[in-house]
Amino acid sequence: SRQRRRDRTLDSACDDQLLAMMDMKGFDPKEISVAVKDGKVKVLAEHEEKHTTASGKEYNYRKTMREISLPIGVREDDVTYSL
């Protein structure tokens, strides 16, 4: 699917310093957390919207989580990320 292609782990031939790139469109940076633990990078994003309409209240909620295993030889302390 298009989503899988867009969020897939990048081939190391593209950039040996880049493990993955994720499209976080629709999420505010404050709604995204990144943790590096147990040899994995864990990305969690949650977004909630509340709207009042003539017919009542509407809620929209999105959540995405992704775990990526670190390549052999990469130390957890060496991992950096940017939004």
pLDDT tens track for 45-64: 999 999 888 888 999 999 99
Q: Rounded to an integer, what distance in angstroms lies between the CA atom of residue 83 and that of residue 77? A: 18
Mean pLDDT of the chain: 81
C-alpha dihedral (41, 37, 27, 25), degrees to nearest 10: 0
- Number of Cβ within 10 Å of residue 33's Cβ equals 11
Q: Specify the amino acid at residue 77.
A: D
Please name the residues in contact with 81: beta carbons below 8 A apart, sequence gap of 6 or more.
Answer: 34, 41
pTM over 0.75: no
CATH numbers and ranges of domains, the chain: 29-70 (2.60.40.790)
Instruction: Look up tokens 């976080």; give the residue.
Output: 24
pLDDT at 3: 44
pLDDT at 47: 94
pLDDT at 10: 44
- Number of Cβ within 10 Å of residue 43's Cβ equals 17
**What is the pLDDT averaged over residues 58-72?**
91
